[in-house]
């Protein structure tokens, strides 16, 4: 292992600022990156990757302190990135949802995650009316993932 690693050069662009929120599940990281880079043609974006993805923004009543921190993070990242666009990606078989017992079977879990994405989108639009919010849902299938707009 090298003591110092130098990354490949990255083109400096003035593309519109984007914030992405998705789950930190390691199974999905290469697929999320591929989707964002190749699918949406994003060379760079600000990222909040936590267990359950945007779910933390739904917990205003259930876990208010947790939710408060989440909204603070989003406000901070939004301001730093001067965000104009927000991308939320939920995914199938999310272990956070299963661990928190928010989902029991795969079909209900998918519905629950998408419902939460829409709920968060509404809350974001109220707080950041200029932001364009896009929602996606990812599902693993063998060595690839399918990601759909929801």
Enumerate binding residues for Zn ion (CB under 5 A). 23, 25, 94, 96
Closest CB to Zn ion among 33 and 125?
A: 33
- Helices (H) and strands (E) counted in the chain, each on its own, are 4, 5
Closest CB to Zn ion among 94 and 133?
A: 94
Closest CB to Zn ion among 30 and 80?
A: 30
To Zn ion, the closest distance from the beta carbon of 111 in angstroms equals: 15
To Zn ion, the closest distance from the beta carbon of 3 in angstroms equals: 34
To Zn ion, the closest distance from the beta carbon of 4 in angstroms equals: 33
Site of tokens 């666009």:
85
Kindly tell me the sign of the dihedral angle through the C-alpha atoms of 7, 9, 14, 15.
negative
C-alpha distances in Å from residue 90, one per residue of 36, 80, 117, 136 = 13, 24, 7, 6
């Amino acid at each position: 292992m090298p003591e110092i690693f130098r990354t490949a050069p990255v083109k400096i662009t003035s593309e519109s600022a984007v914030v992405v929120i998705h789950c930190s599940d390691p199974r999905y990281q290469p697929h999320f990156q591929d989707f964002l880079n190749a699918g949406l043609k994003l060379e760079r974006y600000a990222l909040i990757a936590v267990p359950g993805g945007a779910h933390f923004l739904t917990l205003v009543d259930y876990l208010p302190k947790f939710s408060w921190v989440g909204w603070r993070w989003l406000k901070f990242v939004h301001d730093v990135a001067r965000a104009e666009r927000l991308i939320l990606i939920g995914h199938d078989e999310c272990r956070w949802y299963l661990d928190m017992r928010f989902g029991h079977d795969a079909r209900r879990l998918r519905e629950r995650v998408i419902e939460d994405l829409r709920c968060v989108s509404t809350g974001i639009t109220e707080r950041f009316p200029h932001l364009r919010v896009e929602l996606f849902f990812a599902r693993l299938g063998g060595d690839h993932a399918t990601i759909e707009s929801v």
